[in-house]
Amino acid sequence: MGSRSEVTQLIEAMKIEKVVIPTQVSSYFGKNTFSEITMQKMVSQKTFKAFKAWQEDGVIITKDQADEIAHSMKEWAISHGATSYTHWFQPMTGLTAEKHDSFITISNTGSVIEKFSGNKLIQGEPDASSFPSGGIRATFEARGYTAWDPSSPAFITEVDNGKTLCIPTIFISYTGDALDKKLPLLRSESALSKAAVELLKLFEYDTRFVASTSGAEQEYFLIDEAYYRMRPDLLLTGRTLIGASSPKGQQLEDQYFGSIKERVLHYMHDVAVEAYNLGIPLTTKHNEVAPHQYEFAPIFEQSNLAADHNQLLMNIMKTIAHRHGLVCLLHEKPFAGVNGSGKHLNWSICDDKGNNLLNPGETPETNLIFLTVLCSVIYALYNNADLLRASVASAGNEHRLGANEAPPAIISVYLGEQLSKVISMIENGKIVEAKKQDLIDLGVKLLPKFIRDTTDRNRTSPFAFTGQKFEFRALGSAMNISTPIAVLNTIVADAFLIVTERIKEEHKTNSNFNSAVLKALSGVIKESRSVLFEGNNYSDEWVKEAQKRGLPNIASTPDALKAFVSPKAIDLFERHGVLTNVELKARYNIWLELYEKVIDIEARTLKEIVNTQILPAAYEYQSSVASGLDTLIDLSKNGAVKFSADIIEDRKEAFTTISEHIYYVRKNMKELENILNRSESMGLETKTAFFFSDLKPHMEHIRRHVDALENIMPDSIWHLPKYREMLFIS
């Protein structure tokens, strides 16, 4: 690896390989997945039926049927060149985990044969001890099991050393506790379905189940790998801990440049092909606000699948970037002063035929259902804003929430002008009469107009109704979407139960069902009114207003996470069978620990870079300024050259400036070390709170002075690639 300037030259000379644009996507979409269609062709009709019954109604298949499916899956995988298989799961940290096994077994005659049994398909036993359990698993009982999730199709991935059949699984402890992010999501789907079916029964709306649907818009940055390798902070923490902003930032909104544009397009193209092979329905969006920031958006799917696909997509994005000499940064805030990356979770609910329940209908009946579902979601948000905030709490996302670029840490709901009017009318009892025409007008006249109108979309709201789905915008780019979905599903399930009860209650005294519903909804809206906000969520006025309304505004991750272990939350998750008390506490611990580790690594990385790269260069510059000053003084003393005393004063000022920055860097660094030392004996809760209140501000102080140094020191002795290079060189 050469110096910064050598690397820059190397990058500029880089040649781009031309890629061939492939044929129609439909001709290869899902080619690397063991789809239902493939399975149906390969197993008996009876087995396939049993499989579907398992998927839809939870009736577990027999051992013989499992064997038959496993066999066909193996045959299919081998015919596609796979040599091994893995149970693919989503542990509590990191992206995804795998444990590879080969298909081969030794036969009775001693020869090697490829075999894959139903047992191996359905259950696996990875070495669980290396994954966090938050204390659920005592060390003497490190066993954890993976269990096949039949709702997500198996797929083949290719790495350098061959192809692997990946089987989506859940990860549980010996005692059946959830050790992953997927099981709670699946459980929350059941809870949502159960509650929704009850509610819909009141409307004589027949559906066997409901499911939530999700589409996660994924933001990311791309930078050249050569620069990445020269930045220990990016390598170790995923973000730049120091770095002066570029004179040119995102002001001009013109982040497209010649060759980088082409490289990025090729990259996006390759990601899309790989995603299509795996059955991920991607539509690409090209650029975002910040330089070198982009977005991938999928077509929405049932949440479980959408969550798996988003995890897979993040893996693909990272892997393919390397092939292009790029690095895909998924960190929420890789660069200070430049917009960070989030993930918009588009979420809705559909019935067993795929009808969207958040779509206003054309008849009074369907409109009433739409309004009831809508009001239930509003109520859920009002009642559990703290949980939703907690579901997006992470060290990385902490840089975004409330930082004037992402929705604030205050959870509120945006409905848009028309729908707000409708909601107010219901609230004030103006349409409680519920004449048929009123209800039709609500749907046909008002709402479709709202859907078409995209101009009044409020981009600052953390939770916005956007036509026929809600868009939860507070997720961080690196996050697994399972937890926010599981929380959303659970709180909405709970709201459904409450609204169901209220409608029943109202109907006892009000024989007109429609009026009874509207009356109940009026109460629900009155109660949850404070969570509705149509204005600018980034403004200071909103922060004050929200405080008046009593809405929580929690900036710190450790504080936000506490919501998961409140008695109210434990009761909620237990009642809906989504997470037990033990599982919640375990999760809380794991997330706190994760926060602690991330901040600790960042602080130590900062310390190392500053001590070994920044300060040595700064001393060098400081001496050269000092000796320049000496020379000036000598010259002036011996009278060889005549110049004004101001010139000496000016040089002294330069020396003072650099010396002061060095002094403050060191002063804060000593304090940072002191904080780290003091924190060592602290318990997890105290320590993480201390990190937020003391360690992080000190890191910021250090950064400020280092960045000031970067702006005055010679380019030639500054070793770290600069923002203007990483973000602007084409």
Q: Which residues bind ligand ADP (CB under 6 A)?
A: 213-215, 217, 297-300, 346-348, 356, 466, 468-469, 471
State which residue, 39 or 280, has the beta carbon closest to ligand ADP: 280
Which of ligand ADP, Mg ion, none does residue 215 bind to, with CB < 5 to 8 Å depending on kind? Answer: ligand ADP
CA angle 196, 470, 479 (to 5 degrees): 100
CB of 471 to Mg ion, least distance (A): 5
Q: How far apart, in whole angstroms, are the C-alpha atoms of residue 209 and residue 223?
A: 45
Q: Total binding residues for Mg ion by CB under 5 A? A: 1
Instruction: Give the C-alpha distances (Å, rounded to integers) separating 359 from 131, 191, 362, 466, 468.
Output: 41, 21, 10, 10, 5
Closer residue to ligand ADP in complex, CB, 189/471? 471
Which lies closer to ligand ADP via its Cβ, residue 90 or residue 466? Answer: 466
CB of 309 to ligand ADP, least distance (A): 11
- In this complex, which beta carbon is closest to ligand ADP, that of residue 227 or of residue 300? 300
Among 239, 263, 344, 502, binds Mg ion (CB under 5 A): 344
Question: 73 vs 282, which CB is nearer to ligand ADP?
Answer: 282
Contact (CB, 8 A) for 98 and 88? yes
Contact 167, 86 (CB under 8 A): yes
Site string for Mg ion, 599-638 (x = CB under 5 A): ----------------------------------------
Residue 669, phi then psi, degrees to nearest 5: -65, -40
* Stretch of residues binding Mg ion (CB under 5 A), selected from 243-251, 254-262, 342-350, 598-606: 342-350
Beta carbon nearer to ligand ADP, 488 or 551: 488
Instruction: Closer to ligand ADP by CB, 142 or 297: give it.
Output: 297
Residue number with CB closer to ligand ADP (392 or 709): 392
Least Å from the CB of residue 400 to Mg ion: 15
DSSP letter string over 537-561? TTSHHHHHHHHHHT--B---HHHHH
Nearer to ligand ADP, 468 or 613 (CB): 468
State the binding partner of 372 from ligand ADP, Mg ion, none, CB within 5 to 8 A by kind: none
Measured CA to CA, the distance from residue 274 to residue 225 in angstroms comes to 21
Question: Smallest distance from the beta carbon of 319 to ligand ADP, in angstroms?
Answer: 22
- Region at 145 (left for phi over 0; alpha for psi -120 to 50; beta for the rest): beta
In DSSP notation, 2-64 reads --HHHHHHHHHTPPPPP----S-GGGTTTTTB--HHHHHHHS-HHHHHHHHHHHHH--PPPHH
CB of 296 to Mg ion, least distance (A): 12
Minimal distance in Å, beta carbon 454 to ligand ADP?
7
**Bridging pattern class, strands 123-124 and 144-148:** antiparallel
- The nearest distance, CB 459 to ligand ADP, in angstroms, is 9
Count, residues in the chain: 730
What is the sign, positive or negative, of the torsion defined by CA atoms of 58, 376, 464, 557?
negative
Residue 214 interacting partner from Mg ion, ligand ADP, none (CB closer than 5 to 8 Å by kind): ligand ADP
Whole-number minimum distance, CB 476 to ligand ADP, in Å? 17
Minimum separation from the CB atom of position 288 to ligand ADP (A): 12
Residue 468: which of Mg ion, ligand ADP, none does it interact with, CB under 5 to 8 A by kind?
A: ligand ADP
Q: How far is CA 427 from CA 381, 430, 518, 600, in A?
A: 17, 8, 8, 50
Rg, Å, the chain Cα set? 29
Residue 418 interacts, among ligand ADP, Mg ion, none and using kind-specific CB cut-offs from 5 to 8 Å, with: none
The DSSP secondary structure of 322-387, one letter per residue, reads: HHTTEEEE--S-SSTTS---EEEEEEEEEETT--BTTS--SSHHHHHHHHHHHHHHHHHHHHHHHH
Q: Which residues bind Mg ion (CB under 5 A)?
A: 344
